[in-house]
Amino acid sequence: MLDTKNMDNINRIKQLKKEKNAIILAHNYQRGDVQDIADFVGDSFGLSKTAASHNADVIVFCGVDFMAESAAILSPEKTVLMPELNAQCPMAAMITPESLKLEKQKYPDAAVVCYVNTSASVKAQSDICCTSSNAIRVVNSLDEDEIIFIPDRNLARYVADNTEKKIIPWNGYCPTHHLILPGDILLEKEEHPEAEILVHPECRPDVVSLADKVLSTSGMLKYVARSDSREFIIGTEIGLLHRLSKENPEKRFIPATAYAVCPNMKMNTLESIIRALENNKHIIRVPEDTRRKAKLALDRMLAVGRGD
């Protein structure tokens, strides 16, 4: 049952959306009430693509910094608002354009494959982007035999196990997925022996090796909907369990660990969405030269396909 304050916030958001011709995008890791008020819930790049094809004038992106930037890259004519400016992605911050430039000098014959969890300025220096669901397909589509894969070393390792190309990983990682340990998976499997283990490729390799399926967040949602299993151990940020449970009420979802929480993802609230819409804050802009180069890397990815 919603309390009066929450109902007031929800009604105010609906009013502001109508006044501003705005849509709200929420990543799968957002708080449950933020997901529930959103027009679209999904993975980062999927949401940006949805927003680009929508007739809204204003996009409120409830996620982290690189996600709002991606929306601004694909929708330069729209106003992109980020309710919490401090909602930064720690992994995206682990690589800079300057450090990437130095890495490219060390491997002049290598192509740069850039995970979408990066800043626009890093995307602009990359040959092609990828998501967690299409990373293998993107790497295998390239003519180059050497691939600088940035910034996630765990996703890079997963790709390396599924390609004959030489993968040169960057030493970045997602702190939240890194909290999931093999022991967490094994303990939950002992408690729930019939449960399928689904983990995100941002997890440690020794966690990935225990999984029944290695999937992106959108991949997990699709797989669970089709599966005959009734229980699932979920190895990703716990925000996804809200949507999994909402869409599959007859199935049970067990977090690999209750500590897999991204504090930056959880910064967005109903109150901060209201402030963003009332005050037009915070507007995310990408310089045009950077935007064009970053969009080229994203367009090249789309030409390959996203995968499952």
pLDDT exceeds cutoff 70 at 2: no
**Distance from chain centroid for Cα 41:** 11
Contacts with 135 (C-beta within 8 Å, 6 or more apart), sequence order: 113, 115, 149, 155, 158, 159, 201, 307
User: Residue 4's pLDDT is what?
Assistant: 87
**Helices 44-52 and 65-74, interaxial angle, to 10°?**
30
pLDDT exceeds cutoff 50 at 308: no
Question: 179-234, pLDDT tens digit by residue?
Answer: 999 999 999 999 999 999 999 999 999 999 999 999 999 999 999 999 999 999 99
User: Residue 255: enclosing H or E segment and its boundaries?
Assistant: strand 252-255
SS3 12: helix
Q: How far apart are the first and last CA of the chain?
A: 36
**Which pairs count as long-range contacts for 165-171, CB under 8 Å and 24+ apart, including other chains?**
165/139, 165/140, 167/139, 168/103, 168/107, 168/110, 170/94, 170/95, 170/103, 171/94
**Distance from chain centroid for Cα 155:** 13
Which amino acid would we find at residue 107? Y
Question: 26-55, pLDDT tens digit by residue?
Answer: 999 999 999 999 999 999 899 999 999 999
Mean pLDDT computed over every residue of the chain: 96
Tokens of 13: 């958001």
pLDDT exceeds cutoff 80 at 161: yes
Tokens of 219: 């991949």
Name the pLDDT band for 1 (thresholds 50, 70, 90). low
Q: What is the pTM of this model?
A: 0.94
Contact 71, 42 (CB under 8 A): no
Q: Which residue in 53, 68, 107, 46 sits closest to 282, CA to CA?
A: 68
pLDDT exceeds cutoff 90 at 76: yes
Name the pLDDT band for 5 (thresholds 50, 70, 90). confident
**DSSP 8-state secondary structure symbol assigned to residue 109:** T
User: How many residues are present in the chain?
Assistant: 308
User: Residue 305's pLDDT is what?
Assistant: 67
Q: Which whole number is the average pLDDT over 269-284?
A: 97
Cα(15)–Cα(304) distance, rounded to whole angstroms?
Answer: 40
User: Residue 291's pLDDT is what?
Assistant: 98
